[in-house]
Amino acid sequence: MIHTQSTMDHQENNFVLEVKGLNVFYGTFQAVKDVSFEVKPGEIFGLLGPNGAGKTSTLSSIEGLIKAQSGSITVAGYNAAEKPRYARASIGVQLQFTSFQPELTVSEIVRLYAGIYGVAMPQEKLIDLLQAIKLEDAGSKKFGQLSGGQQQRVSLAIATLHNPSLVLLDEPTSGLDPQSRRQLWERMEAMRENGHAVILTTHSMEEAEAVCDRVAIIDHGKLIAIDTPQNLIDRHCNQPEVIKVSRRGKITLEDVFIGLTGSTIRL
């Protein structure tokens, strides 16, 4: 088992993630076109784009699920092509839809994945973890009996059991009620305060504007904008295509997003 507690010592240029010149093809179709960006420790970085824009292919390349045709990915100082096991061990992933065994209890799932990650999980630590995610009374509940928000809290806790340097969150608040969504925002902010780098994909521009330190907008495989949400708003607020789609008088990140990527619905 590869331990990641000391991976922060291996980082170069103070970046947890460096993506340089990434190109991904599916046959003759190019899904990602020369994408480059970095994410620092203690930064929540939003990766935004319409359906089919290249977000999933970019994330899958970072996770090591697909192989890019060219470019480089460095996680916690480890080149993903040269040291894939070390790079993957430095990553925690929470998907939009959890797939934990519904018949297992929350405590059983936590202990199972702690064992997979090689993380000791004595009873006191388990209790502390459940208290941290506000599920101290749900340890004996089956996962399938939890609400959507509770399942997402468990999923996020599992993704960070091994204290990864980089956490990938793929639309984690999709379908949640406002209370559950705000609780997950608080968990993301706590990860940022603890020095984790977080990549968040979301279709909620309100969410991206509220929690992300910087956002990158990708469309047709290309990175078309990258900056803080407010800087993107300030930079594009007077552009005709942005003003045209604004419905609230005050320009928002959603207005900028639609102005840059168009209003055509993507399948």
pLDDT of residue 11: 42
Which residue has 């959890």 as its token pair? 98
Task: Note whether residue 219 is domain-resident.
Answer: yes
3-class DSSP assignment, residue 21: strand
pTM, 2 dp: 0.88
* Domain presence at residue 85: yes
Whether residue 190 is contained in a domain is answered as yes
Q: Is residue 264 situated within a structural domain?
A: no
* Residue 16 is assigned to a structural domain of this protein: yes
Domain residue limits at 35 = 7-227
Pairwise CA distance, residues 257 & 156, whole Å: 27
- For 74, the token pair is 């460095």
Mean pLDDT of 35-43: 97
Contact 15, 40 (CB under 8 A): yes
Domain count, the chain: 1
d(CA 245, CA 253): 11
Residues 126-151 have pLDDT tens digits of 999 999 998 999 999 999 999 888 99
CATH number, position 53:
3.40.50.300
pLDDT over 90 at 25, yes or no: yes
Q: Is residue 179 part of a domain?
A: yes
